[in-house]
Chain A
Amino acid sequence: MPTSKLIEVENLHRNFGAVAAVRDLSFSLNSGEVLGFLGPNGAGKSTTMRIITGNLAPTSGQITLGGYDLLREPIAARRLLGYLPDSPPLYRDCSVREFLDFCGRLHGLRGKHLTEAVDRAIDRCGLGDVPRKIIGHLSKGYQQRVGIAQAIVHDPELVILDEPTVGLDPRQIDEIRQLVRELGENHSVILSTHILSEVQAVCSHVQIINQGELVLKSSLADLESTTTGRHFRIRFLTPPEVSALNELAGIDEVLVETDGDFLISFTDQTLGTESVLRKSLELGWGLTELSPPAAHPPSLEQLFLQLTDEAVANESAPNPPEPISQ
């Protein structure tokens, strides 16, 4: 009985002794989405990953993978899954090809299908130069790629990657991100990380976890539209009323920032700019600045710091903050 949701997690709790590592976590993911799972170290990211891959039993809660209950029908549910844990589970005494061959067999691949699957994984993860090398002799970057290859060799519908870029150099990080982006084209991906730019670079959705609780759940597009990402900064010497600006042609939204400073977004940039300029001259608002939005808005980072700050986290709602509109 498959549902449209690929994975659905409901009211997940996990205690370690008296410590609650995960508290009332609920989220879901549709096919084709790339979810960034953000949180500071020790927030419960890896615990959540281990639970949704069936490696750790939750204290309470339900996990449904492609319509199968992970706890009741673990084998059917796990067929849909590829998982790279925070430390890659590599057999260091095997060659790359041998290891991937074994992983494919574990997932029931045989014969021609197996050979093709291993070839494809080697190709996609850029392991074409080293298929006969022993994994233990490879560099950390290559080992990480073998780890990813292991997670995708059986072409699972959902790939779960727990901090895949930890300990890599910038070039390797970039390569892995490129790979994750490619994976996102025909798989669903859950990417756990504490690196914000990683989420901005590859994810379509983001959620932030802090102290075991989900503090933000949003699509990246929504998130950017609620913050300053596509807003122009505009400043006047004698600022008009917001309503006066709002009435102008080509203007979508106006936010007051400080005295005389506004953030505005346009429906039509050329028309909007022109009407603002004309009105400013006409009514003597004294336009002094009109600057475009930053190419990479710092919004997610600010949000992350704000939401994972202990004092704020205690009272924050699991929704993005409202835009500062009037």
Chain B
Amino acid sequence: MTLLVIAHAELRSLLRSPLAWATLASVCALLAWLFLLQIDQYTLYRSQLLALANPPGVTELVVKPLFGSAGLILMMVLPVITMRSFAEQARNQTLTLLTTAPISLTAIVLGKFAGLCGFLLLLIGVVLAMPLSLASATHLDWGLLAAASLGLLLLTTSFTAVGLYISSLTSHPGAAAMLTFGLLLILWFLESATSDPGGTATLAQFSTLHHYRGLLSGLVSSGDIGYFLILTLLALSLTRLRLHSQRYQA
């Protein structure tokens, strides 16, 4: 499968750059710190919580904010991971290697996307390892954890797809990163622009945060899943279209 060959090359090139490791280290450090803060708070107020009739569990009080922050932080760092994908190849004029080989443009786009998602899984694995480390000490709400993980996965794959598209628009990786970040930020905060944040206004329906929040609360709805899948597919199709139209550009 040539798609996997491209995915493998993309992941390898990513893992050879100090950028990827620096990103992984920063994300890890930042989230570990936030995680420990949440744990600290939880242990501080645990006795008071136990007095409640139906107290929220550790999963809800620790995992939910952790994954919320992880979504925001990954939104900031993923543009740096995706920026090189097409932009750097365009700059080094190495894309010819792929476009001359007997491979469809779809396979090139999906291959690169799969490679980036490989690295993304590594990032999410690190995030997930934190709540999992609690499993030996306390009872975890596995359903909530699974829903939140699915949410984070869908959210970040859609970020990656958007980043891949923007990267195909320019031959300047830095510009690609900034544009991606700007676009993701707008998508994220789109619901705050409505009069009823968190409500069902039309504009809010286009916000990534709006759909992520549902999954974070353990509510797996086909609407939220559909939103992220559509966003991802849209970005990937646009990338393919962009590569195709590059052959026609004047």
* A binding-site residues for B, Cβ under 8 Å: 15-17, 53-57, 75-76, 78-79, 81, 83, 85, 87, 89-94, 102-103, 105-108, 150
Are A89 and B102 within 8 A (Cβ)?
A: no
In whole Å, how far is B43's beta carbon from the nearest beta carbon of chain A? Answer: 46
Chosen A-B contacts, 19 in total, with CB atoms closer than 8 Å, are A15-B250, A53-B96, A54-B247, A55-B96, A55-B100, A81-B100, A85-B96, A87-B93, A89-B95, A89-B96, A90-B94, A91-B97, A93-B13, A106-B5, A106-B6, A106-B98, A106-B103, A108-B2, A108-B102
Interface majority SS (helix, strand, loop, mixed), chain A: loop
In whole Å, how far is B168's beta carbon from the nearest beta carbon of chain A? Answer: 15
Q: Which residue of B lies closest to A75 (CB)?
A: B102
A96-B2 Cα distance, complex, nearest whole Å: 20
Residues of chain A lying within 8 A (CB to CB) of residue B94: 89-91
Residues of chain B lying within 8 A (CB to CB) of residue A78: 100-102
A93-B84 Cα distance, complex, nearest whole Å: 14
Residues of chain B lying within 8 A (CB to CB) of residue A94: 12
In whole Å, how far is B84's beta carbon from the nearest beta carbon of chain A? Answer: 11
A91-B84 Cα distance, complex, nearest whole Å: 13
Residues of chain A lying within 8 A (CB to CB) of residue B135: none
In whole Å, how far is B186's beta carbon from the nearest beta carbon of chain A? Answer: 33
A76-B103 Cα distance, complex, nearest whole Å: 9
Choose from B2, B12, B16, B99 the contact partner of A105 (Cβ within 8 Å): B2
A83-B97 Cα distance, complex, nearest whole Å: 8
In whole Å, how far is A20's beta carbon from the nearest beta carbon of chain B? Answer: 11
A93-B92 Cα distance, complex, nearest whole Å: 12
Contact (A85, B103) CB under 8 Å given A17-B250, A102-B9, A106-B5: no
Residues of chain A lying within 8 A (CB to CB) of residue B17: 93
Q: Which residue of B lies closest to A93 (CB)?
A: B16
Whether B248 sits at the interface, judged by CB under 8 Å, is yes
Whether B104 sits at the interface, judged by CB under 8 Å, is yes
Residues of chain B lying within 8 A (CB to CB) of residue A85: 93, 96
Residues of chain B lying within 8 A (CB to CB) of residue A56: 247
A291-B2 Cα distance, complex, nearest whole Å: 62
Number of interface residues of B (CB under 8 A): 24
Are B247 and A106 within 8 A (Cβ)?
A: no
Residues of chain B lying within 8 A (CB to CB) of residue A103: 97, 101
Are B247 and A89 within 8 A (Cβ)?
A: no
Residues of chain B lying within 8 A (CB to CB) of residue A76: 102
Residue from the set B2, B5, B94, B102 with the largest chain A CB neighbour count within 10 Å = B102
Choose from A16, A75, A102 the contact partner of B104 (Cβ within 8 Å): A75
Q: Which residue of A lies closest to B89 (CB)?
A: A89
Are A54 and B103 within 8 A (Cβ)?
A: no
| Shortest 8 CB-CB contacts between residues of A and residues of B | A89-B97, A106-B101, A89-B94, A57-B247, A105-B5, A78-B102, A89-B96, A79-B102
A219-B230 Cα distance, complex, nearest whole Å: 57
Contact (A102, B5) CB under 8 Å given A91-B13, A150-B97: yes
A185-B197 Cα distance, complex, nearest whole Å: 72
Are B248 and A16 within 8 A (Cβ)?
A: no
Are A55 and B247 within 8 A (Cβ)?
A: yes
Q: Which residue of B lies closest to A71 (CB)?
A: B247
Q: Which residue of B lies closest to A78 (CB)?
A: B102
In whole Å, how far is A74's beta carbon from the nearest beta carbon of chain B? Answer: 8
Residues of chain A lying within 8 A (CB to CB) of residue B12: 94
Residues of chain B lying within 8 A (CB to CB) of residue A107: 101-102
A89-B90 Cα distance, complex, nearest whole Å: 10
A15-B125 Cα distance, complex, nearest whole Å: 50
In whole Å, how far is B19's beta carbon from the nearest beta carbon of chain A? Answer: 12
A76-B101 Cα distance, complex, nearest whole Å: 10
A238-B173 Cα distance, complex, nearest whole Å: 77
For window 78-96 of chain B, which residues contact chain A by CB distance below 8 Å? 92-96
A92-B13 Cα distance, complex, nearest whole Å: 10
A247-B16 Cα distance, complex, nearest whole Å: 77
Q: Which residue of A lies closest to B97 (CB)?
A: A89
Residues of chain A lying within 8 A (CB to CB) of residue B97: 89, 91, 103, 106, 150
A103-B97 Cα distance, complex, nearest whole Å: 8
In whole Å, how far is B107's beta carbon from the nearest beta carbon of chain A? Answer: 10
